[in-house]
Chain A
Amino acid sequence: MSEAVQLRRRLLLLTPLGVAAAGGVAFLAMLRGMQSGNFDPRGVPSPLVGRRIPDFSLPAQPPDGVGFGSADLLAAGRPVLVNFFASWCVPCVLEAPVLMQLKEAGVPIWGVAYKDQPDAAAQFLRANGDPYARLARDEPGRVAIDFGVYGVPESYFVDRSGIVRWRWAGGLSADTVSQELQPLLRKYA
């Protein structure tokens, strides 16, 4: 048998092995990505990131007596974390201590009570702590749709010029804050 044929045979044998190995490596990478939350096939990427916040104006949610809108976010003069929450949402309870820590660190968090009754939301804040610098409510959930919210909790990091820089769907954890939010807070401070 000539050397060329022998080489070809060896390559033919190695090809399926190579394909299987590449598949294995890709699968491992996917698993790792899923673990760190970077690759979620069910995640809905936000088209709002890099774009301006939608125009809106929302009524007050007690204990705050004013409510807020897009104009207030633009007038804030510093980046704000806009957080959609609800008293009927279990991950919101888990997220509450993380938000309280952020508040203590001086991060302004503006809360929107999503599809909630004012009394129920106020009771939720009494029970789990109130991390919000300002509060509004979106009972019909219509402004939330303009933001692209598809579940609570959901958080939007808005820079001082009103551009959404980051969106997190689901509860914020200490890890998410240190790995994703802190660098943004430094960058856009």
Chain B
Amino acid sequence: MRTLLLLLLLAGPAWAVSSPSEMLPDRAQEQRAERIGEQLRCLVCQNQSIEDSEADLARDLRGIVRSRVVAGDSDRQVIAWMQARYGDFVRLDPPFRPLTWLLWSSPVLALAVGAGAVLAGRRRHAAPAPLSDAERARLADLL
């Protein structure tokens, strides 16, 4: 019973990275590396970030992110390093550029199209044409 309690006490929390041995000893650096890694797509299991993925390549990329953080690269530099090798696709948050402007501006565009449709609808219903003489005569007849 005592050994079991001891084991439970020794058991660490579950980390984002698969093994605590990957973590940097410096807490601030490790947190920065995790923040960067969360923005990078694992190219193998594509809807996971490299921090979440168990894939071999993701582990290698985590190691590279950490070594670059230790070497003093800024967040932007580390991400640029990855982007130079794996393209925009490696970023879970794609950059705004000619190729992606449609992606980023689609909500605004959708809103504009909707607003246009509403305005056009309003204008059409705004002023009904006045009755012609013949219509007026027919109306008088009916009433």
Contacts and interface: CB of A to CB of B under 8 A. Distances in A.
Interface of A: 42, 44-48, 115, 140-142, 145-148, 150-151
Given A115-B56, A141-B60, A150 B44 contact: yes
B92 interface: no
Nearest to A148: B85
B43 A150 contact: yes
B125 to A, nearest CB: 12
Contacts of A146: 85
B87 A45 contact: yes
B85 A47 contact: yes
18 contacts: A44-B43, A44-B89, A44-B90, A46-B87, A47-B83, A47-B85, A48-B85, A141-B56, A141-B60, A142-B60, A145-B57, A145-B60, A145-B64, A147-B85, A148-B86, A148-B87, A150-B43, A151-B57
A48 B89 CA distance: 13
Given A142-B60, A147-B85, 7 more contacts: A44-B89, A141-B57, A141-B60, A145-B64, A150-B57, A150-B86, A151-B44
Interface in B36-72: 43-44, 46, 56-57, 60-61, 64
B89 A45 contact: yes
A141 B61 CA distance: 11
Interface residues on B, range: 10 to 19
A47 B57 contact: no
Contacts of A115: 56
Contacts of B88: 47
A150 B41 CA distance: 11
B140 interface: no
A140 B85 CA distance: 17
Contacts of B4: none
B84 interface: yes
Contact of A47 (B43, B46, B56, B86): B86
Nearest to A140: B60
Among all A-B residue pairs, the 5 with the closest Cβ atoms:
A150-B43, A47-B87, A148-B85, A44-B89, A148-B86
A42 B46 contact: yes
Contacts of B57: 141, 145, 150-151
Given A115-B56, A150-B43, A150-B57, A145 B89 contact: no
